[in-house]
Amino acid sequence: MKYFRELVGSLGFLLILCTIYFGLIHVGPAKFFTAPNAQKLFYLHVPSGLITYLAFMMVVGGSSFYLYNKSNYADNIAKCSAELGLVFGFMSLSSGTFWMKAEWGGDIVSRFLTDMRLATTLAMWLLYIAYVVYRRQPETSNLKKNAAILGLSGMLMIPLSYFSSRFLRSHHPVIVGTEDQGSLDPSLRLGLYMGILGFLLLYYFLFMLRFRIEELEKTYLEKRMENV
């Protein structure tokens, strides 16, 4: 289908709007929270966080394939996904910071330094900033190989960030994959799943668009080299 990518993007955007309507208006103020209004950030914070992990896992996957068989296709996937991981990571970290300030209070900097979930997630995000900055140089096979090694370090950072709230010192609540997920209020669960699907579709749309740009850029550079 010609406009499949755009259709998926629009559907994702629509689902996010529905999630926001659902969270802000339909559900009403949250119970059992110090900041019942700021709790609405949950509907954006959790899906964007999960998509951040997905995006960085794509970088790990792409980097591994590149190191295994020097596939440029896999390298492109890693490069494009890293950029998107930064965008979604920014959303997750900033919305989390706003929510944290309202719900927990206290000093933001010391929270990031002492709460292991926050510290490891920020470290993971900074690592991929380094990856994206490194990839802004003219591409050589050596650069791709080094970038892939850097990208692979996510193999350590992603699980460290994801499981830190389970096994290390952290105030961050754990919902996904625990008993709490089953005990989530059905209205809250519906909003969460709708948000996750919306963000997933938006990620797909942006990824395909970014991938297309990458391919175009490579074709352009190759043609230019031929002309020279």
35 DSSP 8-state letter: S
Return the number of the residue (98 or 204) whose C-beta is nearest other proteins. Answer: 98
Report the 10 Å Cβ neighbour count for 106. 11
The minimum distance between CB 18 and other proteins, in angstroms, equals 15
Backbone angles phi, psi at 206, to 5 degrees: -65, -35
Return the number of the residue (50 or 160) whose C-beta is nearest other proteins. Answer: 50
Percentages helix, strand, coil for the chain, rounded to the nearest 5?
Answer: 80, 0, 20
Neighbour-count burial of 158, counting CB atoms closer than 10 A to its CB (0-12 exposed, 13-18 middle, 19+ buried) = buried
Q: Alpha-carbon Rg of the chain, whole angstroms?
A: 19
Residue type, 164: S
Chain positions contacting other proteins, by CB under 8 A: 20, 34-38, 40-41, 44-45, 48, 84, 87, 90-91, 94-95, 98-99, 101-103, 202, 206, 209-210, 212-213, 216-217, 219-220, 223-224, 227
The minimum distance between CB 97 and other proteins, in angstroms, equals 8
Return the number of the residue (2 or 224) whose C-beta is nearest other proteins. Answer: 224
- What's the chain's length in residues? 228
Return the number of the residue (35 or 194) whose C-beta is nearest other proteins. Answer: 35
Q: Is 33 helix (H, G, I), strand (E, B) or coil?
A: coil
Q: What kind and span of H or E run contains 37?
A: none
Return the number of the residue (66 or 99) whose C-beta is nearest other proteins. Answer: 99
The minimum distance between CB 24 and other proteins, in angstroms, equals 8
Return the number of the residue (179 or 226) whose C-beta is nearest other proteins. Answer: 226
The minimum distance between CB 17 and other proteins, in angstroms, equals 11
The minimum distance between CB 98 and other proteins, in angstroms, equals 4
The minimum distance between CB 16 and other proteins, in angstroms, equals 9
Instruction: Assess contact for 102 and 59: CB atoms under 8 A.
Output: no
* Placement of tokens 């950030």 in the chain: 41
